[in-house]
């Protein structure tokens, strides 16, 4: 660094001043001076004019001594750090910059926020590891052509909160988050709730991509005589519901094959935990309502992409389709001589008399436990009984039972099941 007339100058600026002065004194030509400085003769003439008019200061940059436009003052930096360590603690850099802009009227770029946080000693929320190379699978071209669903156990209310599982479903073509349910653990009830919501809200997708969990496919070696004759095991509860509406299940062969929905969960763990804390959420119902309400709308606005094709692959629901019956737990049973159906766990369902006091002893019936805990009993597609018990709080579980013959020909669900089995 040098000085000229009390002005601190860099070596580059000193060299420029010296060459311009030589041309002004006639000791160097304009062409030669421009070549020495690596500029055009026109630019050198402008520098000569500025030096004649304003002296050495005319050669200095116009912003010298001014406060940079993008420099944050100490008060603003302090406020950002206070919010990052207080109300918005746990927010990642991008999420924090969005909140500061929307809620606090602090309009700083993500890179500026990141620089402030790192220099202020606030570490990154999540360490980004180098990604391994995997072959990318092209997205489906149409909405509803393929959905992906899975469960993610996590401390969704923070490290000190309970460990819940978020069961969620997304559209492959757009990456849009469609619906989610918080539960104590990944179970069949949560997936049936998801399926019912998607069917009622969107329609019927062509296929759903999932892992090889026992909720979706039978992984046991037990085969009944009927299954051996059919050449395939009777599907799980979720599998039967998918078959009933003609949704193809596609099973992933590796964790990497589910990369798209795993990345969704990574983003949700990054953002949703902070949003739930900010909203003061404490219960699973509150969390589910918040997730599928304001959070979903904002999330899809930021991250969902338009599908390649405008035409949707969603299929409309057939008229009169009973979603409560499809998205429920099914058991096949035989009515006792006392016109009662006995299931595991001491459950007894008394069948009322039919027309002209008809009895149903020894009849093979279909028993359905609905998602709210109520029971239904069907005989040849005729509803014989529906209980009126209040909604239960405990999660429903698949009851262990002895597998029986596939129901009679008159049962529409039997026909659908036979079509699935082949």
Residue 231 has pLDDT above 70, yes or no: yes
H helix runs in 90-184, sequence order: 93-103, 110-119
Residue 333 has pLDDT above 90, yes or no: yes
Residue 209 has pLDDT above 90, yes or no: yes
State the Cα–Cα distance between residues 87 and 336, nearest whole angstrom.
62
- Tens of pLDDT, residue by residue over 10-56, are 777 788 888 888 888 888 898 888 888 888 989 888 888 888 888 87
DSSP per-residue letters across 55-99: GGGGGS-TTTTSPPTTPPPHHHHHHHHHHHHTTTTT--HHHHHHH
Residue identified by tokens 């051996």 is 228
Report residue 416's pLDDT band, with 50, 70 and 90 as the boundaries. Answer: very low
CATH class of 147-303: alpha beta
- Tens of pLDDT, residue by residue over 287-320, are 999 999 999 999 999 999 999 999 999 999 999 9
Q: For residues 156-171, give the mean pLDDT.
A: 93
pLDDT value of residue 400: 66
Q: What residue segments make up the domains of the chain, in order of their start? A: 2-59, 74-119, 147-303, 328-421
Residue 183 has pLDDT above 70, yes or no: yes
């Amino acid at each position: 660094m040098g000085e000229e007339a009390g002005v601190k100058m860099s070596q580059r600026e000193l060299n420029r001043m010296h060459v311009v002065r030589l041309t002004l004194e006639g000791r160097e030509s304009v062409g030669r001076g421009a070549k020495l400085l690596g500029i055009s003769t026109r630019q050198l003439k402008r520098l000569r004019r500025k030096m004649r008019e304003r002296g050495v200061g005319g050669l200095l940059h116009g912003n010298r001594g001014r406060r940079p436009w993008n420099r944050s003052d100490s008060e603003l930096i302090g406020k950002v750090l206070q919010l990052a360590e207080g109300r918005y603690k746990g927010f990642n850099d991008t999420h924090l910059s969005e909140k500061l802009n929307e809620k606090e009227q602090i309009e700083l770029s993500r890179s500026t926020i990141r620089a402030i946080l790192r220099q202020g000693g606030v570490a990154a929320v999540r360490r980004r590891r180098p990604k391994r190379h995997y072959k990318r699978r092209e997205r489906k071209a149409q909405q509803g052509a393929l959905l992906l669903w899975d469960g993610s156990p996590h401390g969704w209310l923070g490290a000190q909160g309970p460990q819940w599982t978020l069961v969620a479903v997304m559209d492959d073509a757009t990456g849009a988050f469609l619906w989610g349910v918080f539960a104590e653990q990944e179970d069949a009830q949560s997936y049936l709730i998801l399926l019912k919501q998607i069917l009622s809200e969107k329609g019927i997708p062509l296929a759903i991509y999932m892992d090889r969990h026992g909720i979706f496919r039978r992984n046991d070696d037990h085969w009944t005589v009927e299954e051996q004759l059919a050449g395939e095991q009777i599907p799980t509860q979720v599998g039967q519901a998918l078959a009933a509406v003609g949704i193809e299940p596609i099973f992933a062969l590796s964790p990497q094959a589910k990369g798209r929905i795993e990345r969704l969960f990574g983003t949700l763990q990054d953002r949703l935990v902070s949003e739930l804390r900010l909203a003061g959420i404490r219960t699973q119902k509150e969390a589910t309502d918040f997730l599928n309400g304001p959070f979903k709308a904002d999330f899809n606005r930021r991250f969902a992409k338009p599908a390649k094709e405008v035409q949707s692959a969603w299929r409309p629901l057939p008229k009169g389709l009973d979603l409560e019956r499809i998205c429920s737990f099914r058991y096949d049973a035989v009515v006792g001589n006392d016109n009662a159906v006995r299931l595991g766990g001491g459950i007894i369902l008394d069948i009322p008399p039919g027309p002209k006091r008809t009895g149903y002893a020894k009849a093979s019936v279909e028993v359905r436990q609905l998602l709210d805990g109520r029971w239904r009993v069907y005989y040849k597609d005729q509803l014989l009984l529906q209980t009126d018990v209040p909604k239960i709080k405990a999660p429903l579980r698949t009851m262990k039972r002895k597998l029986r013959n596939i129901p009679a020909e008159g049962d529409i669900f039997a026909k659908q099941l036979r079509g699935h089995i082949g």
